[in-house]
């Protein structure tokens, strides 16, 4: 279980991929790869995790399953936004899948094989009435060094984005201070943007919800999990 120290921004200026890659390579001394296509399929429960709770369950390229949830921790004055993540390569063991389901608040009691393939997983989702909600197609360019992992995403129907993971919050602030193009920092994933801008679905104002009640989207036992992660990080 990890916390992601990350920010995601939307590029507002009209720049192409090569210009953006060169700009970020020069500022942050990294080298981007040639890009990789990703097909992300997002699944939803009957209570609509994505658009009501800001939680997510995703399969990427039929090779990886991930669960993410965004929380707001006002006591963390430097970076109050907390991303809880569990991510595994497929096939996944029964133990790990049940652990992921437990954190995501998904109840599943049927018998499982020890190694669960993408085909098995889709059958399980069908049993659970998890629906294939949104598909996001993108090309991702990745670069990293000992301080940063930076991804440029060209997202179908949405445009250019940059996602930055760093080893500490100060490095995230350094990134903000040294970007030389216009951008907007976003606190949600491509699913919400796609739903709002492409599918014309009305999305709640998550920031307003967080500021009114920072506990509003914690599922059972998740607050304790987050507290333990924060405690472990403070001890390192």
Per-position pLDDT tens, the chain of length 236: 555 578 899 999 999 999 999 999 998 889 999 999 999 999 987 667 777 888 889 999 999 999 999 999 999 887 798 889 999 999 999 999 999 999 999 999 888 889 999 999 999 999 998 888 889 999 999 999 888 899 999 999 999 999 998 877 788 888 888 888 999 998 778 888 998 899 998 888 888 999 999 999 999 999 999 999 888 877 55
The answer to the question of residue 147 being in a domain is yes
| Chain length of the chain | 236
* pLDDT score at 4: 58
146: containing domain:
2-201
The answer to the question of residue 218 being in a domain is no
> Cα 41 to chain center, whole Å?
13
* pLDDT score at 3: 58
pLDDT tens-digit profile of 163-208? 998 877 788 888 888 888 999 998 778 888 998 899 998 888 888 9
**Beta partners for residue 42, in sequence order:** 58, 134
The answer to the question of residue 185 being in a domain is yes
Q: Which residue has the tokens 């930076």?
A: 150
The answer to the question of residue 49 being in a domain is yes
CA distance 23 to 20: 5
Q: Of all residues in the chain, what percent carry a pLDDT higher than 70?
A: 96
Model-wide pTM > 0.85:
no
* pLDDT score at 218: 95
The answer to the question of residue 208 being in a domain is no
The angle, 0 to 180 degrees and rounded to 10, between the axes of the packed helices 169-178 and 17-28 is: 120
DSSP, collapsed to helix, strand or coil, labels residue 16 as: coil
CA distance 145 to 31: 9
Number of domains in the chain: 1
Torsion of CA 70, 82, 91, 134, to 10 degrees: 30
* pLDDT score at 48: 72
Mean pLDDT of the chain: 89
Q: Domain of 27: which CATH number?
A: 2.40.320.10
The answer to the question of residue 217 being in a domain is no
The answer to the question of residue 7 being in a domain is yes
* Continuous segment of H or E residues that includes residue 207: helix 206-212
User: Quick one: which of 52, 19, 26, 70 has its CA closest to 178?
Assistant: 26
CA distance 72 to 76: 9
The answer to the question of residue 212 being in a domain is no
C-beta of residue 190 within 8 angstroms of C-beta of residue 137:
no
């Amino acid at each position: 279980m990890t916390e992601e120290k990350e920010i995601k921004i939307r590029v507002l200026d009209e720049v192409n991929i090569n210009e953006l890659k060169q700009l970020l390579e020069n500022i942050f001394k990294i080298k981007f790869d040639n890009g990789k296509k990703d097909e992300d399929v997002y699944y939803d429960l009957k209570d609509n995790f994505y658009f009501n709770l800001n939680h997510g369950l995703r399969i990427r390229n039929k090779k990886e399953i991930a669960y993410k949830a965004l929380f707001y921790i006002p006591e963390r004055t430097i970076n109050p936004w907390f991303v809880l993540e569990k991510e595994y390569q497929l096939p996944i063991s029964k133990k790990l899948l049940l652990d992921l389901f437990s954190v995501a608040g998904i109840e599943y009691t049927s018998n499982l094989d020890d190694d669960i393939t993408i085909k098995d997983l889709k059958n399980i989702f069908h049993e659970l009435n998890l629906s294939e909600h949104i598909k996001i197609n993108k090309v991702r360019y990745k670069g990293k060094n000992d301080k940063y992992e930076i991804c440029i995403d060209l997202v179908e129907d949405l445009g250019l984005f940059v996602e930055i993971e760093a080893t500490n919050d100060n490095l995230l602030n350094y990134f903000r201070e040294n970007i030389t193009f216009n951008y907007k920092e976003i606190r949600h994933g491509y699913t919400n943007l796609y739903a709002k801008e492409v599918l014309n679905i009305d999305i709640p104002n998550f920031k307003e919800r967080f500021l009114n009640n920072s506990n509003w989207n914690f599922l059972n036992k998740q607050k304790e999990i987050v507290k333990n992660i924060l405690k472990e990080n403070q001890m390192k």
